[in-house]
Structure 1
Amino acid sequence: MTPSNRPAPSPDQQHLVLRRVERQHALIEVLRARAPRTTSGRLLAERLGVAVRTVERDIARLRAAGVPIKVRPGPGGGYALDTRPSLAPIALTPGEAAALVVALVAVGPYASASARSAMDKLLSALHAPEAPARRRGAPPEGPVTPVTR
C-alpha cells in the first residue's frame, strides 16, 4: 500500500502514467514553439497521436497544476501558452498577506487594476468569505485601521 492507502500502481499503470507525463511535456513544447499563437485541439491531437478528448483532459490537468495555458473557445480558437512573465511563488504568512490586503484597501478607489487583481488573489488565498464582494468593488465592512509601527 502507498501512504494514501491506495494499492501501488501495477507496472502497466506506471507505464501509462509515464506516457501521460511524456505526452503532456510534448504538448507544452508544441504550445511553447507556437506561442503566442493559438493551436487547435485537433492539431495538437494529430501531433501527439491521441484523441482530441485526451488533449482536453491533458490541458485541464496541466492548467490545474499551474501551467499558464490560455483557452480560446469557438471557431478559430484553441490553446496557447501564456508567455507573460510572472513571479515565482512567494510563501507569505497569513499575517503578511493580511497586511498587504490592508494596504491595498487603504489605497481604495485609487487602486490600479493590477492592485485590485492582487487583492483578489490574496483574499482568495486567505479563503476570506468576503472575497466575492471585494471583486465587485464593495468597500470593506466596518472600520479599517492602518497598522503603524
Structure 2
Amino acid sequence: MASVQPYLSRVERAHRLIEELRARAPRPLSARLLAERLGVTVRTVERDVADLVSAGVPIRTRRGAGGGHRIDARAVLPPVELTPGEAAALVAALAAIGPRSSASAQSAMAKLVRSLCEET
C-alpha cells in the first residue's frame, strides 16, 4: 500500500474517498479500511460519507459483517453536456480548491477552460 499523506484537505479527502470506492466498485469497503487508506479516523470517514450522500453521491452503506460502503460507479462516462454557466461554476469551484490538487482536477480544469474559451 502506498504511503498516505498525514493531512488531506476535506475536498482532497472526498475525492480520494470516491476514487477508493470507485476503484473497488461494486464491492464494498469498510470504514476502517477507508480510514487506513486515507490516513484519518473511522469517524471522519463516516462523516465524509454522510456529507457526500447528502450532496447526492450514490454511496450505499451496509452495516454488519461483510458490509461497508460502496458506490454505484460507471467504468466509462457518457458524454456530458454542460451549459456555459455550469462549466463556469465548475471552473470557479476548481479554482477555489486548487486546480493542481490532483492530476484529475488539473485535467478537468483544462478541459473546462478549453470548452469555455473560443480558440483564436
Q: Shorter-chain TM-score category?
A: 0.5 to 0.7
How far the C-alpha of 1:82 sits from its partner, in A, is 1.4
Query: What's the counterpart of residue 57 of structure 2?
Result: 67
Structure 2 unaligned spans of 5+: 1-6, 81-120
Name the residue aligned to 2:43. 53
Q: Does 2:17 align with 1:27? A: yes
What RMSD in Å do the two structures reach over aligned CA positions?
2.1
The residue number in structure 2 matching 1:147 is: none
Question: Aligned pairs, how many?
Answer: 70
Q: CA deviation at 1:30?
A: 0.3
SS at match of 1:43: helix
> Structure 1 CA distance, aligned partners of 2:65 and 2:11?
29
Q: Which runs of 5+ in 1 are unaligned?
A: 1-15, 89-149
Q: Give how far 1:83 is off.
A: 3.1
DSSP 3-state at the match of 1:50: coil
Highest CA radius of gyration, 1 or 2?
Answer: 1
Cα-to-partner distance string for 1:80-133 (whole Å, 9 max, x where unaligned): 001379xx9xxxxxxxxxxxxxxxxxxxxxxxxxxxxxxxxxxxxxxxxxxxxx
Give the % identical residues. Answer: 67
Q: Give 1:76's aligned residue.
A: 66
More contact order relative to length (CA 8 Å, sep ≥ 6) = 2
